[in-house]
Chains A and B, each alone.
Chain A
């Protein structure tokens, strides 16, 4: 039981962060607006959670210009994908 709880990642305790990771794991990349629409959160809220995921190196950011407008693409890093899968597996076995 102790081991299972250790696998639960503190970085994913928050719902928004969990949602961000879920969306990025199944997509090559998503831009800020698609993430916002998908999760139904405010700009500031999303930005701060993205920042914290970026800090723990679970999410990588690429800034580009699309027709002179800045466009930011977010994708999950390999590390982030592994951590996310581990977290989900821990929840699943916790429920069994």
Chain B
């Protein structure tokens, strides 16, 4: 934190903002003006000299020179107070592994199991994971805990557990042969050790093909007291790739290319949006458990600071501002930002082939008459005559068509997409732009947040989005 801005002053600013927000008025901008004026008074004439030194948690703003703690919201705290335990970790579409205290040890029970995971509405894939989930449910613990994992291998083949990034006794590192024998099918194995680290870690099978089959999960170790600046949200996303041929539901773990992409076990647009309140400080933990693909993850509308890796917390003076962060295989990236910009923001891997699923060439009837293949199905022995797409003037332009035709979803699939609370009020065709390694960050003013996340009031498609747009 920069010397010129004391922690007390900083908190005063954020407290004012919270107070303004808590008023619940729709004129958030007006309230922020009040907060800004208070900030001016608190900072005195030096800070008021330069408008760019100001950072607003409610508007796009610069926050001062790069050396400033406010620069791009670097150390701007969330709405939550400092000195508290961390906020609960939240990985959309994933559960957590419960634990019980046994003799002063947190004991977790984990089962290695085959899993049927619904990547997209109606598209159930045969993968492997833990406790019936792909990725496995999250292990959440605290620095200083002693933990015990009772692992049951319910797979038809042997497996082991590796605790990625943890500094633990070698006999629990889970490398077959090197440090332990494989856990045979039907057998149980117990790992037990102390946690002295904090950060984003993960667990996974150390049998290669099982890794390709999806066997991994978050292992989050919190500090007892949350790091400063405190965050209001702590999200986690695991990125995975699979190659699943058309007309099968089982990945080919030997394949060298990948056509299905999942975030927390679902593909866009079935990934559940991250929803936060306008002005909150948000942490997102990324973990890439793809077999071979790195992911440049891009967040629209915001700049974030890299605050941690799979090794743990990065000292603030080493934080890096980014819009896109390249997360390599078996790497974790924590980043934080102030959700100053309300709206529905796409959040995705920028590799073009990861922004789609089970890609198909855009040739055939779908670009000839934009009709489906029902007429082929209606009379199989007599196929319809060939339509010539080349007669269309557009085909005079080499390269046409480039547009990835939208996936046609049936009513049941659309119902599944939109029945989730997190998607209420998004634009009607929102799913067309959310494919593959994509999800959505929804930054909502508090009143809209409450309507979406807490009220039972009916919300029409697009209603929330349009309300946000109008306020800008």
Query: Bound pair: A and B?
Result: no
* A contact residues vs B (CB 8 Å cutoff): none
